[in-house]
Amino acid sequence: QKEVEQDPGPLSVPEGAIVSLNCTYSNSAFQYFMWYRQYSRKGPELLMYTYSSGNKEDGRFTAQVDKSSKYISLFIRDSQPSDSATYLCAMSTTGNQFYFGTGTSLTVIP
Partner 1 sequence: GAVVSQHPSWVICKSGTSVKIECRSLDFQATTMFWYRQFPKQSLMLMATSNEGSKATYEQGVEKDKFLINHASLTLSTLTVTSAHPEDSSFYICSARVRWSTSGELFFGEGSRLTVL
Binding residues (CB under 8 A) for partner 1: these are 31-32, 34, 36, 41-46, 49, 51, 88, 90, 92, 94-98, 100-103, 105
Residues facing residue 55 across a β-bridge? 64
Which one, 48 or 108, has the nearer CB to partner 1? Answer: 48
Which one, 46 or 109, has the nearer CB to partner 1? Answer: 46
We find the least distance from the C-beta atom of residue 108 to partner 1, in angstroms, to be 18
Which one, 32 or 70, has the nearer CB to partner 1? Answer: 32
Q: Distance of alpha carbon 94 from its chain centroid, rounded?
A: 19
Render 1-62 in DSSP notation, one character per residue: --SEEE----EEEETT--EEEEEEES-TT--EEEEEEE-TTS--EEEEEEESSEEEEETTEE
Which one, 17 or 102, has the nearer CB to partner 1? Answer: 102
Q: From CA 29, how far away is CA 94, in angstroms rounded?
A: 9
We find the least distance from the C-beta atom of residue 3 to partner 1, in angstroms, to be 12
We find the least distance from the C-beta atom of residue 94 to partner 1, in angstroms, to be 8
The strands making up 19-25's β-sheet, listed across from edge to edge, are: 4-6, 19-25, 71-76, 61-66, 54-58
We find the least distance from the C-beta atom of residue 15 to partner 1, in angstroms, to be 24
